[in-house]
Structure 1
Amino acid sequence: MHLADFIAGSVGGAFGVAVGYPLDTVKVRVQTQQRFTGVWHCILSTCKEEGIRGFYKGMSMPVTTVSVSSSVVFGVYRNVLQCLCQLRYGSQEAPPAKLDIFLSGLAGGVAQVSVMAPADIVKVRLQCQTEPYKVTDKQYKPKYRGPIHCLFTIAREEGVLGLYKGAGALALRDGPSFATYFLTYNTICGWLTPENQSQPEWKVVLFAGGVSGMCGWCFGTPMDVIKARLQMDGMGERRYRGFFHCITVSLRTEGPGVLFKGLGLNCIRAFPVNMSVFGMYELVVHFLRPVS
């Protein structure tokens, strides 16, 4: 097993969260709260009502958990890819086919759901908890006082399985999304790297990372919307009986466009975030691989 990829994925994932978290907060609110008419309305309202800190609600847990989940994604991806190359071509160093890269990315995306689902629901609940800023009563206390309190409150009120609300949609989002993600990254690096070079240049790594993130979100946004709505369903009156009911109600009340709410914002956020993730990942891998 190659441990360098687990470590490098962890560092890259944490760095990416720090870069893209404010836009992630805006995206989640636009997807789940109909009071916002668009991205700019959400940004201006958040600034006015909550200040800058409103964009960073619930970030402490994602920095930790995305670090772990990113470690799982990159580590599983690399090790599954090398296993496939060994089985299909007789050598781990054999050039992988596009299908090998796609399947390895799919495995990595699905594998990290068990780690990511509880942290993701905490992140979404905290990002969308805006009530304390709307009332004048200074004694009013928010339902969730922080990430750990939110985690235990959900487990107490909704059961341990409540922490995995939207996990099915999360798997359907992250499996194809990460498969596309890694396939796009490797394809662009292959196109832009001269035949006499074994490794892509840094500008190629950064560009390929940014574009791969955007492509991944093009496939992942519909399930991202459904996931966020299922996760938010425990904060007030229950609207959805399950995964398919959520899709049906959302399409009937808001039309097909609802599945692509936040797509533009996802793509804008994805470029700098994944440019940072892959840049940091490759940097750490190059540092660790000789000793891994």
Structure 2
Amino acid sequence: MTSKSFRMDDFLAGWVGGASSVVVGHPLDTVKTRLQAGKGYKNMMDCIITIYRKETARGFFKGMSFPLATITAYNSLVFGFYSNSQRVICKRRYGDERHPASLSDVAVASMLTGLVSVGLGAPIDLVKIRLQMQTQAAVLAESFQLAGGVSHNMAAAAPVGSRSLHVSNGGGGGGGGNSSVYRGPLHCISSVMQREGLQGLYRGGGAMLLRDIPGYALYFVPYAIFCKLLKPDAATAPHPCAIWLAGGLAGSISWVTATPADVVKSRLQADAHLHRKYNGVLHCILHSYKTEGVQVFFRGVSVNAIRGFPMSAIMFLGYELSLQFFQSL
């Protein structure tokens, strides 16, 4: 990548857009994770009501501090790498980095972004999910019950087969006490490193690759198509409303199609070292299918469709407007 092709403003704009999307989308992301990696919830509304009753509104924001802090790096990487890769592809194919990218150019840059982003995104997602799966109940006591057999009164918000964040058949972690496995993001990282080593932070990375390589192609390509359709003419930049709508539609499409791989990723990342249930991606897929049927891979799809729109709408709008601002300086 030449110095002329490489630009930092894309990284800065990605930071702004990413931070905005986390605040907007995290509550529904928590619901999505509980539905995918847990048991005891009948549907999306039942999950929302259960979380609110058992954990209050704070339950929807569990694990948000870590992605909010790390989004500066992750979304900077995604948007910065994607935009710079696209310019390099255009320069190699057409001799000019400013040449309009074709949809195939966008797809290649998107898939490369998905491949690279897992290096940083897998640990961030793992910590976020481990924190989201914690309830206000006495989780540790329930985990030891699960080690010997599923208890009737176990809390419903933890992952299937996980070591100390197990779900119950019952419906939420009630009861007294505020026991938690992890005291916060840093404690979660140190605990995972001690028990599972560095590879523990990348548990579910294979499933994340299956999700993000096609997922980013189905994110940036529809966005480019919708932006083109919503522009009055080719010479003008899209209106902010068009950016918002195109980003939201692209986000819904990407998240809905990525749901099966996202389910597998969530289960692997929520499944920790002690009493581990899944040996890997294939084992997780086969075990989930045998025990819960094909419908398990679409668990949380409605939440993904709903949360994908506002998150991505804010993401792209924040990115594009920030990029215009930085380029005007």
TM-score of the two chains, using structure 2 as the length reference:
0.85
Instruction: Report how far residue 198 of structure 1 moved.
Output: 2.4
Give the secondary-structure state (helix, strand or coil) at the position aligned to 2:134. coil
Asked if structure 2 preserves the Cα contact closer than 8 Å seen for 1:30 and 1:39, the reply is yes
Other-structure match for 1:37: 42
Letter of the structure 1 residue corresponding to residue 291 of structure 2:
T
Mapped pair 1:64 → 2:102: no
Asked if structure 1 preserves the Cα contact closer than 8 Å seen for 2:31 and 2:60, the reply is yes
Other-structure match for 2:206: 168
CA 227–86 in structure 1, closer or farther in 2 if over 3 Å, else same = same
Other-structure match for 1:186: 224
Q: How does 1:246-285 map to 2 (within 5 A)?
A: 246-285=284-323
Provide the rounded CA distance (Å) in 2 between the counterparts of 1:158 and 1:72. Answer: 26
Indicate the structure with greater helix content: 1
Provide the rounded CA distance (Å) in 1 between the counterparts of 2:319 and 2:136. Answer: 38
For residue 130 of structure 1, the aligned residue among 131, 135, 143 is 135
Instruction: Report how far residue 131 of structure 1 moved.
Output: 5.6
For residue 115 of structure 2, the aligned residue among 110, 114, 134 is 110
Asked if structure 2 preserves the Cα contact closer than 8 Å seen for 1:12 and 1:67, the reply is no
Instruction: Report how far residue 143 of structure 1 moved.
Output: 1.2
Asked if structure 1 preserves the Cα contact closer than 8 Å seen for 2:259 and 2:301, the reply is yes
Deviating more after overlay: 262-271 vs 104-113:
104-113
Asked if structure 2 preserves the Cα contact closer than 8 Å seen for 1:65 and 1:116, the reply is no
Other-structure match for 1:243: 281
Provide the rounded CA distance (Å) in 2 between the counterparts of 1:238 and 1:193. Answer: 51
Provide the rounded CA distance (Å) in 1 between the counterparts of 2:255 and 2:87. Answer: 26
Instruction: Report how far residue 257 of structure 1 moved.
Output: 1.4
For residue 78 of structure 1, the aligned residue among 80, 83, 88 is 83
Instruction: Report how far residue 127 of structure 1 moved.
Output: 0.7
Deviation string 1:6-65 (CA, Å, 9 cap, x unpaired) is 110111011100001000000000001111111111111111110000000111111122
Provide the rounded CA distance (Å) in 2 between the counterparts of 1:188 and 1:176. Answer: 18
Give the secondary-structure state (helix, strand or coil) at the position aligned to 1:63. helix
Percent of aligned pairs with the same residue? Answer: 41
Instruction: Report how far residue 196 of structure 1 moved.
Output: 5.5
Mapped pair 1:288 → 2:326: yes
Provide the rounded CA distance (Å) in 2 between the counterparts of 1:46 and 1:8. Answer: 34
CA 96–142 in structure 1, closer or farther in 2 if over 3 Å, else same = same
For residue 92 of structure 1, the aligned residue among 75, 79, 97 is 97
Mapped pair 1:220 → 2:258: yes
Other-structure match for 1:206: 244
Other-structure match for 1:148: 186
TM-score of the two chains, using structure 1 as the length reference:
0.96
For residue 21 of structure 2, the aligned residue among 16, 32, 40 is 16
CA 255–152 in structure 1, closer or farther in 2 if over 3 Å, else same = same
Give the secondary-structure state (helix, strand or coil) at the position aligned to 1:112. helix
> Which structure 1 segments of 5+ residues have no match?
none
Deviation string 1:180-206 (CA, Å, 9 cap, x unpaired) is 111001111111112264201111100
Give the secondary-structure state (helix, strand or coil) at the position aligned to 2:275. coil
Asked if structure 1 preserves the Cα contact closer than 8 Å seen for 2:36 and 2:299, the reply is yes
Instruction: Report how far residue 290 of structure 1 moved.
Output: 3.6
Instruction: Report how far residue 135 of structure 1 moved.
Output: 5.9
Give the secondary-structure state (helix, strand or coil) at the position aligned to 2:137. helix
Question: What is the RMSD computed on CA atoms of the aligned residues?
Answer: 1.4
Asked if structure 2 preserves the Cα contact closer than 8 Å seen for 1:125 and 1:235, the reply is no
Asked if structure 2 preserves the Cα contact closer than 8 Å seen for 1:166 and 1:228, the reply is yes
